[in-house]
Amino acid sequence: MAQDNHHHDHHHDDHEHGSELSEMQLRVRALETVLAEKGYVDPAALDAIVEAYETKVGPHTGARVVAKAWSDPVFKQALIADASKAVASFGLLNRVGDHLIAVENTPKQHNMIVCTLCSCYPWEVLGLPPVWYKSAPYRSRAVNDPRGVLADFGVTLPADTQVRVWDSTAETRFIVLPMRPSGTEGWSEERLAELVTRNSMIGTGLPKDPKELP
């Protein structure tokens, strides 16, 4: 059911014109009404899903996933092998048919995610996408000039770190597994999770400096 929240194909008209957002909302409402009238969807279930995305699912979920991967090598292997399956143990909304892939940052490779065609995003671990993620400049520049985008976000990487950009679709989405900051040896998962920013899981940021935590 949850996958009905999001498009499964890439229609430019639905996404590219921010000024038509209210029209899009009207179209969604009209579609929802028709589907409910015909008995395909239960409006109460839809409301529950929307509420869950707005209140329960957010980057804190992804942060818990990352912190566990930093702490537990077995979980990390499972996450890299099959992120959809690994994050299912976090008791989240299931998105049947979707595929989540975790891409690991290393000193050699930094990963960044984008949806060049619209706004596909790993909602079940990061919640609602930030506005800039859906913007045309991000979607085009992330591919053409990823280092320029990173600079705009205040991130400078070593010259010998390659930047790899992953283009999401409705069926295949990505979460970046950032590098665990040094100076965090022996930290609990709960404390580690406080270092994991949303942008660090999109690849436009890095985890917080451990010294920043109170």
Q: How far from chain centre, in Å, is Cα 171?
A: 13
Q: Which stretch binds Fe ion (CB under 5 A): 25-33, 103-111, 116-124, 135-143?
A: 116-124
Q: Please pick, among 84, 118, 168, 200, the residue that the annotation labels catalytic.
A: 118
Out of 69, 103, 113, 118, the only residue in the binding site for Fe ion (CB under 5 A) is 118
Cβ of residue 136: shortest distance to Fe ion, in angstroms? 13
- The reply to whether 195 sits near Fe ion by the rule CB under 5 A is no
Q: Is 106 left (phi over 0), alpha (psi -120 to 50) or beta?
A: beta
119 is catalytic: yes
Q: Please pick, among 120, 135, 168, 182, the residue that the annotation labels catalytic.
A: 120
Is residue 161 a contact partner of residue 107, using CB atoms and an 8 Å limit? Answer: yes
- The reply to whether 120 sits near Fe ion by the rule CB under 5 A is yes
The secondary structure of 11-36 as a DSSP string is: -HHHHS-GGGHHHHHHHHHHHHHHHH
Q: Which stretch binds Fe ion (CB under 5 A): 47-55, 107-115, 181-189, 193-201?
A: 107-115
Out of 113, 115, 126, 195, the only residue in the binding site for Fe ion (CB under 5 A) is 115
Cβ of residue 18: shortest distance to Fe ion, in angstroms? 15
The secondary structure of 50-107 as a DSSP string is: HHIIIII-SHHHHHHHHHHHHH-HHHHHHHHH-HHHHHHTT-----TT-EEEEEE--S
Please tell me whether residue 210 adopts helix, strand or coil conformation.
Answer: helix
Cβ of residue 116: shortest distance to Fe ion, in angstroms? 8
Q: Which two tokens stand for residue 80?
A: 């890299």
Q: Which amino acid is at 47?
A: D
Looking at residues 76 to 105 of the shown chain, list those that interact with Fe ion (rule: CB under 5 A): none
Q: Which two tokens stand for residue 146?
A: 């990823």
Which residue has the CB atom at the shortest distance from Fe ion?
Answer: 120
- The reply to whether 66 sits near Fe ion by the rule CB under 5 A is no
Q: Is 61 exposed, middle or buried (0-12, 13-18, 19+ CB in 10 A)?
A: buried
Q: How far apart are CA 75 and CA 68, in angstroms?
A: 7
Name which of 2 and 69 has its Cβ closer to Fe ion.
2
Q: Please pick, among 19, 22, 89, 119, the residue that the annotation labels catalytic.
A: 119
Catalytic annotation, residues: 115, 118-120
Residues in contact with Fe ion by CB under 5 A are 115, 118-120
